[in-house]
């Protein structure tokens, strides 16, 4: 069983979630499940999780939920990570004491995370000005209109700007929380937590987490078997004429049906899947970049690097240094090397 490494003395494991009347129950539960659930199998050194509110009292959440918080806003002064799990509503002003407490915490080095509409709270502080951020797609346009200095990206699951992280709606908060676990403790620990949650350790797009348009099983229709076959044969040449014959369609009909089903061309879909396979091999094996390029059908290391950086946002080497289980497993189980 992997254990969290011994963190440097400057690491602060205290995660404090900001609660409020109208608390978004699912978003709060995402944070509590990842950071607040006791994990004795991981040994000492895990996160500590607390809650705070404008006043140290109970708050009324969604669905009749009542939550007794641990402290008032003063507790943010001790947090290493502050979680904002949504907000009362995108039209509800953020109280000045909350803004001041978040700015002060950020100034002393605390990390600020938001899920869904919680990005509006961070935007109100001014700390997102000039930075990329995301939120639920329903709120993205309004967030950009209200806060034009924020670079709103509605097409991603989450954005990591270092000290500030924002995520899209609801379940994307889990992706962001697991990403932070991966940053803090490495991929072996993040994968363990994901297995406990019965979710993928990270979704399509690797570190950049680009959410293009996942193929719903219900939408696959007559292409279902072909898509599965293409996934199994990524290391082979996959040509349009050949794929159209396998689908029993003309090339023109195949191209139209494929785009309607997946939201992209066959070439783009194949490249995305090959990059995703390369990401998996970088994480779990010590294969060379050349070998991975061959196994994934990308051909050469140069081609792999080009597509990988375009899709994921970093080079294969950088990705391996950050996320490889083979490189970092020793660190994850107690080595003194800094993982964060």
Strands (E), 19-173: 48-52, 58-60, 66-68, 81-85, 111-115, 132-133, 151-152, 158-160, 164-167
- What is each CA distance from 2 to 5, 10, 334, in whole angstroms? 9, 22, 9
CATH superfamily, domain at 217-325: Homeodomain-like (1.10.10.60)
Q: Which fold would CATH assign to domain 14-203?
A: Rossmann fold (3.40.50)
Q: Which two tokens stand for residue 233?
A: 């044969």
The secondary structure of 73-92 as a DSSP string is: GGGGGG-SEEEEE--S-TTS
Q: Which two tokens stand for residue 200?
A: 């993928």
Q: Are 170 and 26 in contact (CB under 8 A)?
A: yes
Question: How far is the C-alpha of 28 from the C-alpha of 255, rounded, in Å?
Answer: 43
Return the number of other C-beta atoms located less than 10 Å from residue 59's C-beta. Answer: 19
Return the number of other C-beta atoms located less than 10 Å from residue 280's C-beta. Answer: 13
Q: Are 281 and 295 in contact (CB under 8 A)?
A: yes
270 three-class SS: helix
**Does 14-203 match 217-325 in CATH topology?**
no
Q: pLDDT tens digits for the chain (340 residues)?
A: 555 555 556 899 999 999 999 999 999 999 999 999 988 888 888 999 999 999 878 898 888 889 999 999 999 999 999 999 999 999 999 999 999 999 999 999 999 999 999 999 999 999 999 999 999 988 999 999 999 999 998 878 899 999 999 999 878 899 999 999 988 998 889 888 988 888 766 665 433 333 333 444 433 456 878 888 898 899 999 999 999 999 899 999 999 888 887 778 899 889 989 998 998 899 888 999 999 999 999 999 999 999 998 877 778 988 888 776 544 433 433 333 322 2
Q: Which two tokens stand for residue 333?
A: 């189980």
39 three-class SS: coil
Question: How far is the C-alpha of 177 from the C-alpha of 25, rounded, in Å?
Answer: 16
The residue count of the chain comes to: 340
Which residue, among 299, 274, 289, 272, has the nearest Cα to 324 in the 3D structure? 289
Q: Are 319 and 207 in contact (CB under 8 A)?
A: yes
The secondary structure of 191-236 as a DSSP string is: HHHHHHHTS-SS-TTGGG-B------HHHHGGGHHHHHHHHHTTTS
Which residue ranges make up each domain of the chain? 14-203, 217-325
């Amino acid at each position: 069983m992997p254990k969290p490494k011994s963190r440097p003395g400057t690491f602060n494991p205290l995660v404090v979630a900001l609660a409020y009347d109208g608390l978004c129950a699912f978003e709060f539960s995402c944070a509590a499940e990842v950071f607040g659930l006791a994990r004795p199998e991981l040994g000492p050194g895990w996160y500590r999780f607390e809650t705070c509110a404008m006043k140290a009292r109970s708050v009324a959440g969604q669905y009749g939920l009542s939550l007794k918080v641990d402290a008032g806003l003063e507790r943010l002064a001790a947090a290493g990570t502050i979680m904002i799990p949504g907000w009362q509503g995108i039209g509800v002003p953020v109280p000045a004491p909350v803004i001041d407490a978040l700015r002060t915490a950020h100034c002393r080095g605390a990390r600020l995370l938001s899920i869904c509409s919680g990005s509006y709270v961070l935007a109100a502080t001014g700390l997102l000005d000039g930075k990329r951020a995301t939120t639920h797609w329903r709120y993205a346009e309004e967030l950009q209109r209200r806060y034009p200095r924020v670079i709103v990206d509605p097409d991603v699951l989450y954005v990591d700007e270092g000290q500030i992280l924002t995520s899209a709606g609801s379940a994307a908060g889990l992706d962001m929380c697991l990403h932070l676990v991966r940053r803090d403790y490495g991929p072996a620990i993040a994968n363990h937590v994901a297995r406990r949650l019965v979710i993928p350790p990270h979704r399509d797009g690797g570190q950049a987490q680009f959410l293009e348009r996942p193929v719903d099983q219900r939408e696959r229709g007559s292409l279902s078997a072909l898509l599965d076959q293409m996934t199994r044969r990524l290391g082979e040449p996959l040509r349009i004429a050949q794929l159209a014959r396998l689908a029993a369609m003309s090339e023109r009909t195949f191209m139209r049906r494929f785009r309607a089903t997946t939201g992209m061309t066959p070439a783009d879909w194949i490249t995305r899947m090959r990059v995703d396979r390369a990401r998996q091999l970088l994480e779990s094996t010590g294969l060379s970049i050349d070998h991975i390029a061959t196994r994934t059908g990308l051909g050469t290391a140069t081609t792999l690097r080009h597509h990988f950086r375009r899709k994921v946002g970093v080079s294969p080497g950088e990705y391996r240094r950050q996320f490889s289980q083979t490189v970092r497993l020793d660190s994850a189980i107690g080595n003194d090397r800094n993982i964060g």
